[in-house]
Amino acid sequence: MAYSVKVLDHYENPRNVGSFTKEEEGVATGMVGAPACGDVMKLQIKVGKDGIIEDARFKTYGCGSAIASSSLVTEWVKGKSLDEALAIKNTQIAEELALPPVKIHCSILAEDAIKAAVADYRKKQAE
């Protein structure tokens, strides 16, 4: 399969790989996908007191497109408010990375990962 230059770049040099400690103030985690489906994405966001996402980390088990999609969203969510982050659509991710039709599900998973992370943050805040 031919990957786009941007997918290859994110795959070769993934941004923001790693994990925050879960107990850290403002950290929330979204984990989506399943090993049996071939993709698992873990996206973590660190939200500041002002409600802005200060930092993000990811780990992904999946194909090159899945790794690239999650790497890309860690860059995109930084500096955004939670609502702005939620406004990121899979189509934007797919377009940015020039994903072929068979890889669109990777961008959907990345969008879901943002939603899951934000939901986790809001749940924690509510507690």
Partner 1 sequence: MTLKLPIYLDYSATTPVDPRVAEKMIPYLVEKFGNPASRSHAFGWEAEAAVEDARAQVAALVNADPREIVWTSGATESNNLALKGAANFYAGRGKHIITVKTEHKAVLDTVRELERQGFSATYLDVQENGLIDLEVFKAALRPDTILASVMLVNNEIGVIQPIAEIGAVCRERNVIFHVDAAQATGKVAIDLASLPVDLMSFSAHKTYGPKGIGALYVRRKPRIRLEAQMHGGGHERGFRSGTLATHQIVGMGEAFRIAREEMATENEHVRALRDRLLAGLADLPATYVNGDVEQRVPHNLNISFAYVEGESMLMAIKDLAVSSGSACTSASLEPSYVLRALGRDDELAHSSIRFTIGRFNTEEEIDFAVKLLHQKIGKLRELSPLWEMVQEGVDLSTVQWAAH
Residues contributing to the site for partner 1 (CB under 8 A): 3, 11, 14, 17, 19, 31-42, 59-64, 66-67, 109, 112, 116
> In the bound complex, what is the minimum distance in angstroms from residue 62's beta carbon to partner 1?
5
Looking at beta carbons only, is 36 or 126 nearer to partner 1? 36
Asked if 39 and 65 count as a contact pair (C-beta separation under 8 A), the reply is no
Residue 104 CB neighbour total at 10 angstroms: 16
Minimum separation from the CB atom of position 53 to partner 1 (A) = 19
Instruction: Please identify, using beta-carbon distances, which residue of 35 and 50 lies nearer to partner 1.
Output: 35
Task: Give dist(CA 60, CA 63) in Å, integer.
Answer: 9
- In whole angstroms, the minimum distance from the beta carbon of 49 to partner 1 comes to 28
Strands 27-34, 39-47: parallel, antiparallel or unpaired by DSSP? antiparallel
3-state class (DSSP) for residue 23: coil
Nearest to partner 1 of 66, 82 (CB atom):
66
Alpha helix segments (H runs only) across the chain: 5-12, 64-77, 82-86, 90-97, 104-126
Residues involved in catalysis = 37, 106
